[in-house]
Amino acid sequence: MNKKKHPTREDWEKLAANLTFPHQAYINGEYLNAASGETFDCISPVDGKTLTQVASCDVADADKAVKAARAAFESGVWRDLPPAKRKQILQKFADLITQNRDELALLETLDMGKPIRFSSSVDISGAARTISWTAEAIDKVYGELAPTSVDKIGMITREAVGVVVNIVPWNFPLLMASWKFAPALAMGNSVILKPSEKSPLTALRVAGLAKEAGIPDGVFNVLPGLGSKVGKALALHMDVDTLAFTGSTAVAKQLMVYAGESNMKRVWLEAGGKSPNIVFADAPNLEKAAQAAAQGIAFNMGQVCTAGTRLLVEASIKDEFVALVKQALVKWQPGHPLDPKTLNGAIVDKQQLSKVLGYIEKGQQEGANLAFGGQQAFQETGGCYVQPTIFTEAENTMQIAAEEIFGPVLSVLTFDSMQDAVTQANDTIYGLAAAVWTADLNKAHKTAKALRAGSVWINNYDGGDMTAPFGGYKQSGNGRDKSLHAFDKYTEIKATWLSLEAD
Ligand code: NAD
């Protein structure tokens, strides 16, 4: 299959029919059942069928994994390797992910419903790129010398923190995981990855690839299970040094409480968003802006932390612009996730689908105007599909415009001036991303500066790669993933002072 340039839906279905689903936890270099023997159903949102039963880990498994991770860390088997050696092993890990891309992409699509073209080109390729970019940086991170008096040498070095827990969401399962475990491993830590119970498969599969690449036992562990059980056990554990999380703001807040109730482990949070996409009447190309607005709400079925869920349009062009967005959304109608032409697949599960449909209902009750979409699709398949949806006449006071829906539901608001646009854009508890479209350089920069968000896009809605940090202001979190800034989460900074004897 790897050799075939353009696989068809039939090719993917054939591969799916012969797929083996990983289902055991991975602790200390071994695939194991949960200590309790419990499992949970892994159900595909593509058609509602059960793919496998996955180990449901709990306190005992968390303990076992932390012990293994601690022992590996203390032994120095990973952290004391020359950086160039860790780099080589992580590069091999990235290569193995690339070599197994079809299988991993298929697991991702079946597990959480995203179109196969994106599982392959965005998620799995992106995870491999993340690991290899990070690996490449390992032996280029230097310490510092303090500018101090002549009889002293002050050395500033970075050290691995120890046992790192990564708790991640289901929207880009392996990609979000790799943004965390790659820099954590690169810096010499031991990692315990807790994938979402809605999408555990790729994390479990890559554990075996980590071993094949040469990552020592105990250094990379994967614990599937419920957040309220194994996630909580890890977050409360007294021997975990750092907890790096991506997920909802509600759970992020809970994790800060757990850290306070336990050992004050460092907590790094990438949480929710309700990002404004501001379109001024003088945008250089309204059609391009509309295409981006459509993609900004429909890509990954709207299950994107940076989704452009609040479209702020200058009042004078509102009708014209909304018409262009509707046109642009035509190609984003739901389709079968294994069809390579499909851009918009299934919502992750029934619970999330009913949350999205609930908001569509609520928007109408709140007095917004349902201008496009709004219907569930392909119900007969047993899968979870919904049309991209536009509400006009929305206000920040409405729940559809204030709360994170995590589905393809766009709220359109209007503004009359730059100040009005900025005020409305910042009127949110979140601060993850924002965009501004204008041909006026002065307006673009002034607006970008005034926006309280970790990423701001000017005349685009998706800028970003491994070279730039990613993270949020306000209740969208703290700390940054990607780029060299990601290493801050996984290192302690040590100042070592040496006194020189007088002659
Ligand atoms: P979630 O918060 O429900 O779950 C995230 C993870 O936390 C899962 O692995 C879950 O099992 C675990 N968890 C849940 N309760 C827990 C508890 N009490 N203790 C420990 N762990 C617990 O989020 P989700 O629904 O999986 O993902 C969607 C959310 O993720 C959205 O809010 C989205 O904005 C956010 N997200 C943010 C970013 C970012 O970079 N800022 C990126 C992707 C997704």
The proportion of the chain whose per-residue pLDDT surpasses 90, expressed as a percent, equals 98
**Fold match flag (9-271 vs 276-464):** no
Return d(Cα 249, Cα 114) in angstroms, integer: 23
CA–centroid distance, residue 438 to ligand 1 (Å): 34
Query: What is the value of pTM for the model shown?
Result: 0.98
User: Over the stretch 211-243, which tens digit does the pLDDT of each residue have?
Assistant: 999 999 999 999 999 999 999 999 999 999 999
The answer on pLDDT for 266 being more than 90 is yes
Residue 431 Cβ < 6 Å to ligand 1: no
Helix axes 173-186, 201-213, angle to 10 degrees: 30
> What are 31-53's pLDDT values in tens digits?
999 999 999 999 999 999 999 99
Residue 6 confidence (pLDDT): 85
pLDDT at 4: 63
The single-letter code of the amino acid at 335 is: G
* CATH, range 276-464: 3.40.309.10
- Whether residue 502 is predicted with pLDDT greater than 90 in this model: the reply is no
d(C-alpha 453, C-alpha 430), whole Å: 8
The CB of 430 under 6 Å from ligand 1? The reply is no
Residue 64 has pLDDT above 90, yes or no: yes
| Alpha-helix residue ranges (DSSP H) falling in 25-112 | 59-75, 83-99, 101-112
Q: Where are the beta strands (DSSP E) in 134-259?
A: 144-145, 152-160, 163-167, 190-194, 220-222, 242-246
By most ligand atoms within 8 Å of CB, the mutation choice from 246, 349, 473, 485 for ligand 1 is 246
Q: What is the pLDDT of residues 121-130, one digit of tens each?
A: 999 999 999 9
Alpha helices in 222-342 (DSSP H): 232-236, 249-261, 286-298, 318-329
Side-chain half-sphere CA neighbours of 310 within 13 A: 33
Q: Is the CB of 251 under 6 A from ligand 1?
A: yes
E strands, 255-384, where?
266-270, 276-279, 310-314, 369-372, 376-377
Ligand 1 pocket residue status of 228, Cβ below 6 Å: yes
Tokens 């992910």, located at residue: 97
Tell me which DSSP letter residue 428 carries.
Answer: S
Map out the domains of the chain as residue ranges: 9-271, 276-464
**Residue 1 pLDDT exceeds 90:** no
Residue 3 confidence class, pLDDT cut points 50, 70, 90: low
Give 258 Cα–ligand 1 centroid separation in angstroms. 15
Residues 280-324: pLDDT tens digits? 999 999 999 999 999 999 999 999 999 999 999 999 999 999 999
Torsion of CA 81, 470, 244, 229, to 10 degrees: -130
Are residues 221 and 27 in contact, defined by beta-carbon separation less than 8 angstroms? yes
pLDDT digits (tens, 9 = 90+) for 243-253: 999 999 999 99
Name the closest-CA residue to atom 12, ligand 1.
227
What pLDDT is stored for residue 475 in this prediction? 98
Per-residue pLDDT at 2 exceeds 70: no
pLDDT digits over 101-122, tens only? Answer: 999 999 999 999 999 999 999 9
Average pLDDT over the chain, rounded to whole?
97
**Is residue 245 classed as helix, strand or coil in its secondary structure?**
strand
Burial code of 333-370, b = ≥16 C-beta within 10 A, e = fewer? Answer: ebbbbbbbebbbbbbbbeebbeebbebbebbeebebeb
Record the tokens describing residue 61, joined without a space.
């498994």
> Ligand 1: distance of its center to the CA of 166 in Å?
11
Per the DSSP assignment, residues forming a β-bridge with 55 are: 39
| 503 has a pLDDT exceeding 90 | no
To test ligand 1's pocket by mutation, which of 57, 229, 245, 248 has the most ligand atoms within 8 angstroms of CB?
Answer: 248
**Per-residue pLDDT tens over the stretch 171-191:** 999 999 999 999 999 999 999
Q: Check: CATH 3.40.605.10 for 9-271?
A: yes
Catalytic residues, by residue number, are: 270
Q: End-to-end CA distance of the chain, in Å? A: 72
The residues, ordered by sequence, that sit 6+ positions from 100 with a Cβ below 8 Å of its Cβ are 205, 209
**Mean pLDDT, residues 272-278:** 98
